[in-house]
Structure 1
């Protein structure tokens, strides 16, 4: 990685970290804003028998233990196809859950509840940031990075995986708000935290890859 790219990456990381910190402070002092309520009302106005199962399925694959199984199986596949470095860095996605849980405990924001929203999915943990969004950005985001750079994998397969991963990353924030599991600022927080973790994971992945060349 040349100096210019490294400087750009560092600048983006600092900007993302600052944005996440400012959003966290905003949530602490204003746990329920009109922005959150209005966004939930707008998204949930589309609730119905057709979209309900689709939105539930999008979130379902991010629920424990299914998310854990998915990460382990993906890492195992990489390992079996002699992509050991990719397998190890795929496992690092498991730290996303640890990071979001720590922030959830510190911020301690309550989940959305009736009558403000229609809750389709009842959850236990605190609300900010969205653990689902954080995990999807880290895990599926890193799959996109690897599919783009690992040329030994057939192009068609890489293109399919990238397309599916992009769709899941884009749809998971909508799914969480649609089901009444999170507020708008929760999913933004999850996106920011996930982007920071993904950037760090990708940086070390390319650093190790460069050393092995």
Structure 2
């Protein structure tokens, strides 16, 4: 990566970090905003059993212990096919969960409650940021990068995996709000934090030569 691209990456990460910091301050000052409630009511307006099932499926990959097992299983697959470097970096996406947990504890924002929105599944831990969204952007986003980079993998497999991962990344913010697990600002913060983790991890992966 040349100096120009490094500067662009640095400025992008810095801009995202600033946006995340400002959003965090906003949430601390206004933990229950009319914007969050309005967006939740709008998304939950479409209340059909088939949508309930679909949104639950979208979120399933980020539930505990599913997310941990998914990361480990994916890494094992890469190791089994001699992609050692990729396997280690897939495991490294788990660092995003540690960062997310620290922020959750620090901000300590309560989850949406049944008197304000419909709650489809009971959740634990704090609300800000959305852990599902952080994980999906970091993990599935990194898989998209790998499918682009690893030309030795058959093209149909790379295409299907990339499309599936992209769909999950796009849909999970809507899923979390629809299921009553998070507010809009939670998933936006989760997307930003996940993107920061993805950019840093991708930079390290791309600049590391050869196999680990």
TM-score normalised by structure 1 residue count: 0.97
2:93 & 2:2 partners in 1: Cα distance?
Answer: 26
Q: Please name the residue that 1:77 is paired with.
A: 77
Deviation sequence 1:47-94 (CA, Å, 0-9, x none) = 211100110111111111111111111001111111100000000111
Deviation at 1:121, TM superposition (A): 1.2
Report runs of 4+ in structure 1 exceeding 2 Å deviation. none
1:122 & 1:164 partners in 2: Cα distance?
Answer: 26
1:207 & 1:23 partners in 2: Cα distance?
Answer: 31
Q: Please name the residue that 1:182 is paired with.
A: 182
Q: Please name the residue that 1:23 is paired with.
A: 23
Deviation at 1:114, TM superposition (A): 1.7
Q: Report how many residues are paired.
A: 211
RMSD (Å), alpha carbons: 0.9
**Paired residue secondary structure (2:93):** helix
Map of 1:40-189 to 2, 5 A cutoff?
40-189=40-189
1:98 & 1:107 partners in 2: Cα distance?
Answer: 14
Q: Please name the residue that 1:198 is paired with.
A: 198
Residue segments in structure 2 that go unaligned for 5+ positions in a row: none
1:89 & 1:143 partners in 2: Cα distance?
Answer: 10
Deviation at 1:131, TM superposition (A): 0.1
Deviation sequence 1:95-124 (CA, Å, 0-9, x none) = 111111110100000000122100001111
Q: Please name the residue that 1:12 is paired with.
A: 12
1:47 & 1:81 partners in 2: Cα distance?
Answer: 43
Residue segments in structure 1 that go unaligned for 5+ positions in a row: none
Deviation at 1:130, TM superposition (A): 0.1
1:96 & 1:32 partners in 2: Cα distance?
Answer: 26
2:113 & 2:64 partners in 1: Cα distance?
Answer: 22
Deviation at 1:158, TM superposition (A): 0.3
